[in-house]
Amino acid sequence: MRLDGVRVLDLSRLLPGPYATQLLADAGADVVKVEDTDAGDYARILPPYTDAGVGAIFDAVNRGKRSVALDLKSDRGREAFLDLAAEADVVFEQFRPGVVERLGVDYEAVRAVNDDVIYCSLSGFGQDGPHADRVGHDLNYVGMAGLLDMTREGEDSKPQMPGYPVGDMAGGLFAAFSTVGALLSRELGNTGGEYVDVAMTDVVASFSQAVAHDALTGGDPRPGDTELSGALPWYDTYETADGNYVTLAALEPKFWDAFCEAVGREDLADAHMTDDPAEREAVREELEALFAERTRDEWEAQLGDTEAMVAPVRTPAEALDSEAADARDLIDHSGTVPRAAFPAQSTAEPEGVAGSPPGHGEHTDDVLEAAGYDADRLASLREDGVIE
């Protein structure tokens, strides 16, 4: 899992694209953020802030990258970008469709100087289609993909946001996967350079596999109506005595039998997978009463190490500050503040890819010098406001 020697020019900002390229950086790629000469990535000033005064989200998804501040709206800035792109393996952008064409740094422009480049465009709704020009944020992507319809309804009967930017993160994850796949295809000789178009809405729609068959064959799956959204009492979430929650996920008969035995309710065993709505409701009522007898931690102590398929619902703070997180090295403490680390472990871990996020334009001179720009040329570009 080492991308040593892979150079990525990253034009993205905020969360989805930087998360994608952070995954590449975590795997060892040299990621160069190309930011404008004004404020740079908006996430730098997006609260909450670290003790260093940097946006916490920016810190989390820009570790170990380098920053070049470049005015792409100027002819000389565009020329400098294409000089860098000529030696890059990947160009990654997250603008709305059409922006890179207007700037003159689109796939065709880059391919003219680097035929082997992998060029990835990540957007809300894709580069074509009826919604391509729409603005959007995570709520738009999740809603358009139909997943808001599959979330539990709140007390006001309004579909609720899942509570996490699933569209942004899913889009970034799939963009990183697609980029690595294109790199591998190129290295295997299957393809040369390649253009990859990733729409966050499409990625979130792909998350609907559990209900897609029903939806595509005449059904209209709704919250609580499907096996994996609460229709089955043995696959649901239950409130405990202290107002917390546990999950029960005993789909397979062996796990349901183990659960019934562990809680002394062998009388419920034969009701597993019943199609009788009344019997299902009776089982649910029994389970609601059962789980309400003890606290979340008491249920964890009793059932956590059994095959009862019961687990506590934790807050993000509890999940990230836990024995399991420590054991799996889930938290990266190498930078100025802790962050969630790369979510896989390998026998070929990259070395030295963490660290602090870059300052705005911190590496402009270093990166351009490596591309052949001498001191006089850099001074001229800076004087004209092309670089920062």
Structural domain count of the chain: 2
Using CA atoms, how far apart are residues 305 and 116, in angstroms rounded to an integer? 51
Catalytic residues: 137, 168
- Asked if 25 and 64 touch (Cβ cutoff 8 Å), the reply is yes
CA angle in degrees (0–180, nearest 5) for 296-297-298: 90
| 340 shares its domain with 289 | no
What are the distances in angstroms from CA 221 to CA 13, 158, 207, 224?
A: 35, 17, 14, 9
Residue 142: per-residue pLDDT: 82
| 310 shares its domain with 274 | yes
Residues of the chain with pLDDT under 50: none
Residue 14 located in a structural domain: yes
Q: Where are the beta strands (DSSP E) in the chain?
A: 7-10, 30-35, 66-69, 90-93, 118-123, 194-199, 235-239, 245-249, 310-312, 331-332, 339-340
| 271 shares its domain with 349 | no
Residue 27: per-residue pLDDT: 94
Residue 158: per-residue pLDDT: 60
| 309 shares its domain with 337 | no
Contacts of 368 (CB under 8 A, 6+ apart): 68, 80, 83, 84, 378, 381, 387
| 194 shares its domain with 52 | yes
| 301 shares its domain with 261 | yes
| 270 shares its domain with 168 | no
Residue 217 located in a structural domain: no
| 176 shares its domain with 284 | no
CATH no. for residue 245? 3.30.1540.10
| 261 shares its domain with 352 | no
Residue 47: per-residue pLDDT: 94
Residue 153: per-residue pLDDT: 57
CATH no. for residue 36? 3.40.50.10540
Give me the domain span that covers residue 310. 235-315
| 174 shares its domain with 308 | no
Q: Report pTM.
A: 0.91
